[in-house]
Amino acid sequence: MSNTQQVDEVPLTQRIRENPRPLAVWLAMGAVLIALEFGAVFGFAADLLSVVISLIPGNPLPGVVSFLESLGSSIPTLLSRETIPNQGYFNGSGYENTFLGLEPMLAWLVRVVLVYLYAFLFLGWVWNGYVRFRRHYRYADWTPRDDVVDRLRSHQWGQFGLIVVFLFVILAVFAPALGPTTVEANILNPYSHTVQFWNADAGAVQEVTVGQANLQSGSQGSGTQNVGPWTYDDFGRFHPFGTTTNGKDMFTFLATGARISLSIAISTMVISGFIALALAMVTAYYKGLADLLVVVSSDSIQALPQLMLLILLMVVFNQTWLSEFYDGALLMVMIFVFGYWPFLWRAIRGPALQIAEEEWIDAAKSFGQRPWVIMKKHMAPYVLGYLLIYTSMSLGGIIIAVAGLSYLGLGINPPTPEWGRIISDGQPYVATQSWHISLIPGILITLIVTGFNAMGDGIRDAIDPKSAKGEGDGNTEAVAGGSGA
C-alpha cells in the first residue's frame, strides 16, 4: 500500500460511525440468536471458569463456581431437553412428559432438527457479518482474501468436507442437547437415576433404575439381547443408534465421544501450530545454529515410529497424575503435541525461509525494526496460510490416533465415552445382530476423517490455486511434501 493510500484511509471506527446501520442490524440478529441459547452460553462460561479455578492450588473460590453453575442451569434454553423433552413414558393411552405428548422418537427428532437449524442460522449470521463488512466497512474494494473465499466456494470437494466437519462440530458442541438421554444418567452414574415405563403385563406404569434397565437392554448378538438402531428397548427408551454391549445409549455415547475427540484434536493443533510457527520464524530469521538445533530435534522425533512412540509414552505416563487429569485427555494432548510439532514445522519451514529472503525483510532490518516485530508483521502472515492447510489436514489423523489408542485400552479412561473403545467392545459381535456397535462408529470415523481431508484440500487449493493444477514454485512443492509426511 502506498503512502497516499495510508494517508487517505479512513479508520474502521470512523467508517462505522458514518454508517452504523449495517453493524447495528447484524448485532441485533446476533443478540437474538444468543438470547435463544443464553443459558447454554452462560453455563459454558461457568464451566470454563471452574476449569480455570481448578488449576489454582487450593481451589480458592468453590462457592462462586457452584453458584455460577447453578445459575447457568436455571436459565432457560430453547434447544434443551428440558424445553423439548423426549424421555417420557407411555401411560396406557398416550405419552407423558414428552414434548407436546409426542412419542420419544418424534420428540427427539424435533429437538435434533431445531438444533441443526439453529446451527445453520448461526453460520449464516457469521457469513452475513463478513458480507456486511466487505460491502460497507472494508476500505479496499478487493483483497486477495476475496479470491481465496471465491475459490473455496466453488470447490465442491472442499465444500463436502466443510459440510461434514460442520455437522461433526455441531454434534460435539450440542452433544448434551442432541443425545436422547444424558451422559450422567445413562453412562456415568446410571444407578442414581430412574426411568418410568409402561408394563403391559401389569397394566401399570412402573419405575426402575437406569442401571437395571441398561442391564436388560444390552446388545450382545442374540435375538433376545439386542437393541438395534432406531428402536425402543423394553423400557420405552428410544435409541437412534441402538445400545452398547452393556445397554448404554450409543448415540449419547458417540456424541459425547465426538466432543472429547474434537477437543483433543483442536488443542493439539493449536499448541503444535503455535510451537511450529514460533520455531519457523526464529529459524528462518536467524538461520545457522538456531536452524541446525531445531532440524536435529525434529529429525530425532520424526525418525521414531510414530505409533510406537504414542503407545510407549501412553504406557510410561499412564500411572501418573497426568492420566487422571480430565480422564487422560491432557496427557494425550501433550503426547500428540510432542509428536506433531516437527511435522508442522517442517511443512512451513520452506515458505518461512523464502519469505526471510525477500527484499522487504531486508528493508525492515535496515530501518532498525526489532526481530520479533519483523517476524510478527512481515513474515508470519505469509506462512499462516500453509499452517492452516496442514492443521486442517492433520485433525482427522489425530481423531484416528485417539480412537486407535482407546481401542488398545490406552486412551481416555473409562467410563468416559470414546469412539475407539466402543469399537473394541463391539468387535466380537460384528457378524451378529449387534453389528451396529462397531460398524456405526467406524463409519463415522471414516466419514469425519475424509471430511477433514477434503476441507484441507479445499483450503489448500483456495490459498494456492497452482497446487490444484500441479504447477507452482517451492511453496507448492512444500505443501505436497508436508501432506505426505
For the chain, give every domain's residue range: 183-248, 251-484
In this structure, what are the phi and psi dihedrals at residue 368, rounded to the nearest 5 degrees? 85, 20
Query: Which of 248, 259, 180, 257 minimizes the C-alpha distance to 214?
Result: 248
pTM of this structure: 0.87
* Least confident stretch, 62-71, 178-187, 460-469: 62-71
Diameter over CA atoms, the chain: 90
DSSP assigned state of 413: P
Q: How confident is the model at residue 484 (pLDDT cuts 50, 70, 90)?
A: very low
Domain 251-484 sits in CATH 1.10.3720.10: yes
Task: For residue 263, count CB atoms less than 10 angstroms from its CB and return exposed for 0-12, middle for 13-18, buried for 19 or more.
Answer: middle
Per-residue pLDDT, 482:
37
* Helix/strand number for the chain, H first, E second: 22, 6
In this structure, what are the phi and psi dihedrals at residue 232, rounded to the nearest 5 degrees? -100, 150
Per-residue pLDDT, 29:
96
Buried b (16+ CB within 10 A) or exposed e, 138-171: beeeeeeeeebeebbeebeebebbbebbbebbbb
Q: Is the pLDDT of residue 2 over 70?
A: no
Question: d(Cα 343, Cα 99) in Å, to the nearest integer?
Answer: 50
pLDDT in tens, 106-132: 999 999 999 999 999 999 999 999 999
If you average pLDDT over residues 52-80, what whole number do you get?
66
Written as one letter, the residue type at 393 is M
pLDDT in tens, 16-37: 999 999 999 999 999 999 988 8
Written as one letter, the residue type at 216 is Q
Q: Is the pLDDT of residue 347 over 70?
A: yes
Q: Is the pLDDT of residue 447 over 80?
A: yes
